[in-house]
Amino acid sequence: MWAYAVRRLLGAIPTLAVIVTLSFVMTRLAPGGPFDEEQALPPEIRANLEAAYGLDQPIAVQFARYVGGLLRGDFGPSYKFRDFSVTELITSGLPVSLTIGTAAILLALLLGIPAGVWAALAHDRLVDRFVMSFAVAGISVPVFVIAPMLALIFGIYLRWLPVAGWTPGRLSDLVLPVVTLALPVIAYLARLTRGSLLEVLRAPWIRAARARGLSSRRILLRHALPGALLPVVSYLGPAAAAVLTGSLVVETIFGLPGMGRHLVQGALNRDYTLVMGMVIVYAMLMIALNLAADLVYAWLDPRIRRERRL
Amino acid sequence: MSTTGGLWRDAVRRLSRDRVAVASAALLALMCAAAAIGPSLLDYRQDEIDWAHMAVPPLAQDGHWLGTDRLGRDLMVRTLHGLRVSLSIALLATLVSLAIGVSWGAVAGYLRGRTDALMMRVVDILYALPQVFFVIILTVVFGRSPATLLIAIGAFGWLTMARIVRGQALALREREFIEAAIVGGAGTARIVARHIVPNLLGPVIVYSTLTVPQVILIESFMSFLGIGIQEPLASLGNLIADGAPEMETAPWILAVPAGCLVLLVFCFNFLGDGLRDALDPRDH
């Protein structure tokens, strides 16, 4: 188990190296630079700016400097937010994004799994149909349609929740963003749980348990669910990716000062260092979450657990 | 290949019994036709401003069947144009990822061994990259044009296809007719092109159908954020972005393109599910 964890952790290093190199190379290949304003800068000022940011150095030197900075946790200066470093923007945005992301995943687990179990137990009855139609809708309706709709209903018509905005510590600001992010994941989890539970319930060892006279509650909780939830665990990695991607839209629509909004702003401003830094942080988050999901999976699945011990 | 003929005939029969899939296919055909010829049949151009009728609701004004936006542009024409742009990008990007994915996967699966391990390692690394974020970097770097968007989406979309195709190719190469082809003196390229790839068509068609809605969603996601298709060109994504701030006073500006997008994605998903059931009898 430990060997497996260490091996997976080491396996993430080349991926991270590829990400850093790719994003560096791509932004340096770009035609046009960060200082291309609508009014061209005088050449002397331009040269000074480029020297100040180290852009006059050979590309290998720039890359070495950037990687050296990354290792010290320094993502370089932001080209457009002149008074901020990228690291400052990341540390200010990360807590907001992590808060809504974690809350959305927890909410999705809390609602999606029971909904799927319920649908599986009521197979082909009305509840099942209802849960499944909701699931299909949740997968097909994109976050950027859900978000304005929820804001319209709960913010403008019903006036229950703020339409947008962010005041530190005010929880009502977080409800709509978190629900918006969670809905697609709830839908997918419900569909996944239902499918895998239906399959497990058909297995011979469940029939055997029933023949031994165990209560259906005990069969469900002790025998069927643990196995049925394995695909759910392996979906947690992609789910985290979906939530992180969705947070770009959600933070923009609801005006939350998270990393996603900085990234979108950086992309609109062609702020290379900001975009690179954000993408690297997002990539690290995704790799970490995928790794965590895989480790939980390996720990839960006795087949993998035993195999790794050998 | 008489067995293939039988499989296809069976698949068509199964598909035609799936009413949801048939309805989705019909609706998709209708939407494609509307996107292709609709704008030329209507009285307004997509960037034409009707100064007398700004933000008119649907059915309230003759000629503007689905209303107008804040600038007095006809919403139906704009949505059809958006549909056209979104559909073209989605279909082309799917073709790009199809071409890369199928050849990559088929070659890796057929050659096996070290080549396969190396090729799939490349797929694994790219798979771990956050796709949407790299599409963002690419559009930042190469400018926000439809072509960049197309290449950026296509360049990352082929990974799952390559995995599926490789798995199938690994299984296929053990079959007798491949051995027969080798005995018959066919070279690797010929075997991959003439014997492996044609037999992969089933899963490839299913997965392509399911790729199209994903691409549509990525494209409209980017356009919604302002880093995809740019005004005055319309895409479903930037039309929705246009409508979102107006939803309190003029909800139709959001509802028309959003409804169109959701319908489109629904249809592709239902059709893809139907095709999967029709082409993969093992599921039943």
**Which pLDDT tens digit goes with each residue over B52-77?**
777 677 776 666 777 777 776 778 88
Beta carbons of A26 and B137 less than 8 Å apart: yes
Instruction: Report angle CA B186, B192, B193 to the nearest 5 degrees.
Output: 95
Q: Write the burial class of residue B230 (CB in 10 Å: 0-12 exposed, 13-18 middle, 19+ buried).
A: middle
Neighbours of A158 (CB within 10 A): 9
Please write the tens of the pLDDT for every residue from A179-232: 999 999 999 898 888 888 888 888 888 888 888 888 878 778 777 788 888 888
State which residue of chain B sits closest to A147, comparing Cα positions: B244
Predicted local confidence at residue A302, as pLDDT: 67
What per-residue confidence (pLDDT) applies to B5?
57
pTM for this entry = 0.80
d(CA B241, CA B104): 37
In whole angstroms, give the CA distance from residue A237 to residue A8.
14
Dihedral angle over CA of A288, A290, A293, A294, nearest 10: -110
Do B257 and B84 meet the contact criterion of CB atoms below 8 Å apart?
Answer: no
**Using 50, 70 and 90 to split pLDDT, how confident is the model at B1?**
very low
Please judge whether A282 and B129 are an interchain contact, meaning their C-beta atoms are less than 8 angstroms apart.
Answer: no
- In 3D, which of B277, B239, B278 has the Cα closest to residue B70? B239
State percent of chain B over pLDDT 70.
91
Interface ipTM > 0.90: no
Give the nearest chain A residue to B213 (CA atoms): A140
Query: Hey, which residues 198-237 in chain B have their CB within 8 Å of chain A?
Result: 213, 217, 220-221, 224-227, 237
Which of these, A244, A96, A238, A82, lies nearest to A165 by C-alpha position?
A96
Does the pLDDT of residue A110 top 90, yes or no?
Answer: yes
Measuring CA to CA, which residue among B246, B270, B241 is closest to residue B257? Answer: B241
| pLDDT for residue B284 is more than 70 | no
- Using CB atoms, pick whichever of A151, A249, A267 lies closest to residue B136: A267
Question: What residues contact residue B188 under an 8 Å CB cut-off, 6+ apart?
Answer: B110, B111
* Cβ partners under 8 Å of residue B277, min gap 6: B14, B18, B21, B283, B284
Give the number of other CB atoms < 10 A from CB of residue B233.
16
